[in-house]
Amino acid sequence: MLIKRPNDIPASEITPQSVYLRRRELLRAAMAGVGAAVGGAALLSAPAARAGAPIADVRPSRFSTDETPTERELITSYNNFYELGTDKGDPKRNAAQLQTRPWQVVVEGACEAPGVIGIEDILRDFPQEERIYRLRCVEAWAMVVPWVGFPLAALLKRFKPTSQAKYVAFETLYDPKMLPGQRRRVLDWPYREGLRMDEAMHPLTMLATGLYGELLPSQNGAPLRLVVPWKYGFKSIKSIVRITFTEDEPPATWNRMQPNEYGFYANVNPDVDHPRWSQKSHRMIGEGLFARKRPTLKFNGYGEQVAALYAGMDLAKFY
């Protein structure tokens, strides 16, 4: 298996993907050249509101795998984002309808300092790092995404959760004018997800603001989405507008709709099959239908880091 666990990776191996790194260097160089002509402050603020704009000062992360990232075109054109349509190509086709500026996130519930934070403040206040993670979907396919973002824990700590905060709930934007998929009742809108507090505070859990060194495209969950690399993709809620600290397990959209197929925990586990297909192996997006399947690793290869979170739990019951 190609996944390399974080503590196995020396610093020299963190960002080996020369193609997209070179691309980012060229973008930064071009931006710097323009900045000399028009002024650095104006340059930094102007492109920040649009998807695809370079994110400044991205640093490599020790949490990256050494896998080669999936091509950007595939990452941005084969998506599960029902708010923009149920077909895999719908999100990209409808992406322009989702306007991500201005954007605010409400943080509330069992915390001492509830409040509201804007996406520009998030980008300014939290150092952005690149993490190369595999995203696994329950339909037995996967892609490797060079996410840009920061630890979810960093944001949560700012709002000072109390001892009553046992879970963290997330909610996606509800706006049928911008999200045409919400005009149909294919899901119980708005989309909701949740993590146990220890999962949310784990250093592997991140809030993504971009990919390939650039601001997230709308079809990938702009401007802010969750990424939990040891869980199946439906846990990675997109276009987040509300975060709530709760004492009780929060509702999760797919778990509430089809609990026999989509568990609350959704940990990648080859020993627990989906009722309609095996999850023991998977194909990588872009390799074709006839490509050889790869064996699926428990916790997506991050067992050494996260297995202790579930010590004593029956993972066939708490799937």
- In this prediction, residues 235-239 reach a mean pLDDT of 98
- In this prediction, residues 250-273 reach a mean pLDDT of 97
CATH topology of domain 6-310: Sulfite Oxidase; Chain A, domain 2 (3.90.420)
pLDDT at 49: 53
Among 8-12, 106-110, 160-164, which is the least confidently predicted range? Answer: 8-12
Rounded Cα gap, residues 118 and 223, in angstroms = 10
Rounded Cα gap, residues 73 and 78, in angstroms = 9
Residues 6+ apart with CB under 8 A from 220: 75, 76, 79, 81, 91, 211, 238
Q: Which tokens belong to 25?
A: 């260097």
Put residue 160 in one of left, alpha, beta given phi > 0 → left and psi -120 to 50 → alpha: left
The answer on pLDDT for 13 being more than 60 is no
Query: Among positive and negative, which fits the CA dihedral 129, 41, 99, 172?
Result: positive
pLDDT band per the 50, 70, 90 thresholds, residue 6:
very low
The answer on pLDDT for 188 being more than 50 is yes
Q: Which tens digits make up the pLDDT trace of 97-146?
A: 999 999 999 999 999 999 999 999 999 999 999 999 999 999 889 999 99
The answer on pLDDT for 45 being more than 90 is no
Instruction: Give which of 315, 299, 282, 2 is closest to 142, Cα–Cα.
Output: 282
Alpha helices in the chain (DSSP H): 18-38, 40-45, 72-75, 90-94, 119-125, 152-158, 197-200, 253-257, 303-306
- In this prediction, residues 188-214 reach a mean pLDDT of 98
**Whole-number percent of the chain with pLDDT over 70:** 85
pLDDT at 299: 98
The answer on pLDDT for 29 being more than 90 is no
Rounded Cα gap, residues 80 and 86, in angstroms = 7
Q: What is the mean pLDDT of the chain?
A: 87
pLDDT at 16: 37
- In this prediction, residues 218-244 reach a mean pLDDT of 98
pLDDT at 102: 97
Rounded Cα gap, residues 33 and 72, in angstroms = 25
Q: 301 and 134 in contact (C-beta within 8 Å)?
A: yes
Rounded Cα gap, residues 79 and 239, in angstroms = 14
**Whole-number percent of the chain with pLDDT over 90:** 81
The answer on pLDDT for 23 being more than 70 is no
- In this prediction, residues 228-239 reach a mean pLDDT of 98
- In this prediction, residues 55-69 reach a mean pLDDT of 95
- In this prediction, residues 308-317 reach a mean pLDDT of 97
The answer on pLDDT for 175 being more than 90 is yes
Query: Among positive and negative, which fits the CA dihedral 54, 55, 61, 64?
Result: negative
Bridge partners, residue 126, by sequence: none
